[in-house]
Amino acid sequence: MLTNQLNSKLIALLEGIFGKERVKTSKEELISYSYDGFIKECLPEAVVFPLETEEIGQLVKLANEHRFYLTSRGSGTNLCGSSVPKKGGVVVCFTKMEKILEINTADRYAVVQAGKILEDLQKDLEGTGLFYPIDLGSSRIATIGGAVALNSGGMRALKYGVTRDYILGLKVVLPDGQVIKTGVLTKKNVVGYDLNSLFCGSEGTLGIVTEVTVKLMIKPKNTKVLLNHYQDIGNACTAVNEIMASGIIPTALELADNLVINAVEEYVKIGLKKDAAAFLLIELTGDKEQVERDSKVIEAICKKNNPSRFEISKSAEESEKLWLARKSGFGSMARYKPVCIAEDVTVPVSRLAETITLIHELAKKHGVLQGLLAHAGDGNLHPHFLLDSKEEENKADAIMDELMPFITGIGGTISGEHGVGIGKKKFLHYQLEKSQLDLMRRIKKLFDPEGVLNPGSFLD
């Protein structure tokens, strides 16, 4: 905190903006906003719940004037600690700012407030034939504002891309209190710097996004899911590469390793093959003919690579049943040990097999239980380290310290979709040279000279 303590005079000023009801200062309230989906916690000194962009404008001016920190937050489901108030100050919680402002079916876009929950947005779109294609593991509760801050990817990124690809415009409160509206309603736009892309993924360091205009897509009507078990992880990875080279773009191409298979089977008992090295789950969507045609090609590729079991869904219910194998992955693993750390390295897809092998070797070497879930088509790997206590975190770090140089050496990234926050900060130097990081710091300084927004982020 710049001033180190929010005194009662400042609290009164906050109450002047938000009203008494929407300013929280009790210990219990502060504890409730000291965490997100990451392990580390930091206490804020106050929490405010904006309803309007104007309120945030006033808040930011106040923060500059009285020198206190602001950290914005949605539902608090991110996995890197980016919404934790690392240096105290005020948490700006968007959960009450969740209106849908416009759905335009003619030009296929929607304007929503930052606190809108992704699943609720999908529900609002029901009956329009449209959908917002980004589907996160946490879509049930994650907010669009959080997804923009972290440029979330998720399950369907293979076909549809990531959050950044669906932002047409943003309403942003800049760190000096000015409100700007970025973007246009068209996909093509080459006028000036692409500010949408700059704010998206900036982890709340450059401005506070209050409204998002998202592009919508036509919802595909048909789905087919294939689930293949492989006794050899190399075969599974070859299948992935051949699928990616086939010209067919699956909506999802997911991989789970043996530990995940066993965890899921133990928990949900759906008859997975427990001795398999991995399963591949492939989802195809589109019109009926397209899905039928594509599934034949994919089926041939999968079978060519010697699956020990091959399944394909014949109905929507069957598709859902097969998805259970993948969707239960995290929860099933989570019950193995008290602590579960999810990593997020991403590699070019041709390097998938060797990367997975290396992860397995390193986990074994350091004596850590590891279960791997991967958005294999994207080369996005989520090794989950299952630990007995938080004190064992250093073991996971040791693995990552050995893994990271390899990942960045082959052109991969230390984080594909979770973000840096405080979780991956220690690995940042593996990927960003000082000159690049310095440039980012200068950008930050330009936007936020007083350093009011999200202090303690990856830039510090």
Partner 1 sequence: MKETAKIADSCLKCGFCLNACPVYKELREEIVSPRGKLRQIKAFTAGELPSDKIIRKVLKNCLMCGSCFKNCPSSLATPHAIQKLREELFGKYGHDFIKRGMKYVLSNNKTRALSALWARIVYNNFRDSLPFDLPAGALTVKNMPLLAQPLKAVDFKNNGNKKVFYFAGCVDKYVFGDTGRCAARVLDKLGYDVMISEDEKCCGIPLIISGDIKAVKKNAEANIELLTRQYYDYIVFTCPTCLTAFKEKYYDIFKEDGVFKNKLAELEPKLIEITGLIAKEKKLPQLLGAAGVKVTYHDPCHMVNSLDTVKEPREIIKALPGVEYVEMNPELAASCCGSGGFYHVYFPETALKLGLKKVKNIKKTGAEIVLTACPACKLQIAGSLKRAGSDVKTMHIIELLDRYLK
Q: Give least dist CB 47 to partner 1, A.
A: 8
Query: What are the DSSP E strand ranges found in 123-249?
Result: 130-131, 167-173, 179-183, 208-215, 217-218, 222-230
Q: Give least dist CB 121 to partner 1, A.
A: 13
Residue 10 neighbours by CB distance under 10 Å: 18
Q: In terms of Cα–Cα distance, which of 382, 377, 381 is closest to 301?
A: 377
CB 395 within 8 A of CB 367: yes
DSSP state of 377: G
Q: Which is nearer to partner 1, 32 or 431 (CB)?
A: 32
Q: Which is nearer to partner 1, 119 or 176 (CB)?
A: 119
- List helix spans (H) across 92-193: 118-125, 144-150, 157-160
Q: Give least dist CB 127 to partner 1, A.
A: 12
Q: Give least dist CB 421 to partner 1, A.
A: 14
CB 424 within 8 A of CB 430: no
Q: What angle do CA 255, 239, 229 make, to 5 degrees?
A: 50
Q: Which is nearer to partner 1, 40 or 66 (CB)?
A: 40
Q: Give least dist CB 41 to partner 1, A.
A: 9
- The residues binding partner 1 (CB under 8 A) are 24, 26-29, 31-38, 49, 75-77, 93, 95-96, 98, 115, 117, 119, 138, 140-141, 330-332, 334-335, 338, 340
Q: Give least dist CB 195 to partner 1, A.
A: 29
CA distance 352 to 241: 9
Q: What angle do CA 184, 186, 187 make, to 5 degrees?
A: 115
Q: Which is nearer to partner 1, 76 or 133 (CB)?
A: 76
What tokens were used for 234? 């190399």
With 0-12 CB in 10 A as exposed, 13-18 as middle and 19+ as buried, what is 28? exposed
Q: Which residue is listed with tokens 């989570």?
A: 334
Q: Give least dist CB 28 to partner 1, A.
A: 4
Q: Give least dist CB 119 to partner 1, A.
A: 7
Q: Which is nearer to partner 1, 51 or 437 (CB)?
A: 51
Burial 335-348 (b: 16+ CB within 10 A, else e): ebbebbbbbbbbbe
Tell me how far CA of residue 148 lies from CA of 92, 97, 355, in angstroms.
Answer: 16, 15, 29
Q: Give least dist CB 129 to partner 1, A.
A: 17
Q: Which is nearer to partner 1, 138 or 258 (CB)?
A: 138
Q: Which is nearer to partner 1, 93 or 381 (CB)?
A: 93
Q: Give least dist CB 30 to partner 1, A.
A: 10
Q: Which is nearer to partner 1, 116 or 444 (CB)?
A: 116
- What is the Cα gyration radius of the chain? 23
Burial 233-255 (b: 16+ CB within 10 A, else e): bbbbbbbbbbbbeeebbbbbbbb
Q: Which is nearer to partner 1, 39 or 185 (CB)?
A: 39
Question: What pairing do the DSSP bridges indicate for beta strands 109-113 and 130-131?
Answer: unpaired
Q: Which is nearer to partner 1, 165 or 393 (CB)?
A: 393
